[in-house]
Amino acid sequence: MKILITGGAGYIGSFMINSLIKNGDDVFVIDDLKRGHRSAINKKASLIEADIRDTNTLDSFFAATPIEAILHFAGLISVEESTKNPDLYFDNNVNGSRNLFDTALKHGIRKFIFSSTAAVYGNPQTIPIPEDHPKNPTSPYGKTKLEIEKYLSSLRDKDYSVSFACLRYFNACGASLDGKLGENHNPETHIIPLAINAAISGSEFKLFGNDYNTPDGTCIRDYIHVLDLIESHFLALQLIIKNSGGFFYNVGTGIGSSNKEVIEMVMRISSLNIRVLNSPRRKGDADMLIADPTKIKKNLNFKPKYSDLETIVKTAWEWHKNQIKD
């Protein structure tokens, strides 16, 4: 298949490119490289350096390239940044996505997979969280993702030939098994790379809140290894190729790990100490976010293989060690 990956220079997009190329697909990438890394893009993929808000470039590309499906990863992802600059997030995530899908439809492209988030749920009313849980995002980031989920549904309401899947990630993490590709955000906001960096550098690690209503007082999250996350996209792609519809799936394990457990695992795997600085809670952080993955397991036969906390941290640690060597 000829497949377009937006945001292919980013963390999850770069893994997706590698897997699709290994599968024998013809992969095209659109990325403006403002936050991604050119070096993360497999050289067998064709890169178009552009912003998805650039209609002229999209028009020219789609006119020249018979794309069969789009996997849309491009977007800003920091909850904290979105609270400080919501207009930036709306313009980039919402306007950019609408422009991408509208332009694709003009060129006959009807198959989409959207990188969504558990942040669409907001503070959970039930744990684990099913897909039909009320949607009440507490951050502009979560609101932008929910807005695009709704937009895709509206496109399908107008044109039943449109098929899409929205994958609501819980906490994506980990690195390739060979340690050659990993999580490299700038700025970095995710706990596992931040904890590993603190262990390596000897700097203080800020633990945001130790008074949550959880067994050890720290937040509990559902961590999904990036390789398992990529597998969910393959399964979703097969689904929308064979079936017409709009589909929504949680991508998680149904198992939670606390922030303290993550820190302890990083120290055990690295054999390094982490100096923890207890800091105030961040606005909007829920006590516990754990997926109910029943639907994706039942409908798509999704079976996470690498998402135990030890494997996640081991692979992330190997990648960070390789960065030091380089």
Burial call 152-169: b when 16+ CB within 10 Å, e when fewer: beebbeeeeebbbbbbbb
Average pLDDT over residues 85-101: 97
Q: What angle do CA 70, 289, 212 make, to 5 degrees?
A: 150
Handedness of CA 306, 311, 312, 315 (dihedral sign): negative
Paired tokens of 35:
């936050």
Check whether 188 has a pLDDT greater than 80: no
pLDDT at position 198 over 60: yes
How do the domains of the chain map onto residue ranges?
A: 2-172+223-251, 174-221+254-291+304-325
> Cα(186)–Cα(73) distance, rounded to whole angstroms?
16
The H or E element that residue 48 is part of is: strand 46-49
Q: Which fold has domain 174-221+254-291+304-325?
A: UDP-galactose 4-epimerase; domain 1 (3.90.25)
Active-site residue, selected from the candidate residues 11, 121, 141, 169: 141
For residue range 258-280, what is the model confidence (pLDDT) as tens digits?
Answer: 999 999 999 999 999 999 999 99
141 is catalytic: yes
Over residues 111-158, the pLDDT tens digits come to 999 999 999 999 899 999 999 999 999 899 999 999 999 999 999 999
Q: What is the pLDDT of residues 158-185, one digit of tens each?
A: 999 999 999 999 999 999 999 999 998 7
Output the pLDDT for position 191: 94
pLDDT of residue 325: 63
Alpha helices in the chain (DSSP H): 11-22, 55-64, 79-84, 86-89, 96-106, 140-158, 191-201, 226-242, 259-270, 294-300, 309-325
Separation CA 16–CA 51 (nearest Å): 19
For the domain spanning 2-172+223-251, the CATH number is 3.40.50.720
**Contact call for residues 209 and 218 (beta carbons, < 8 A):** yes
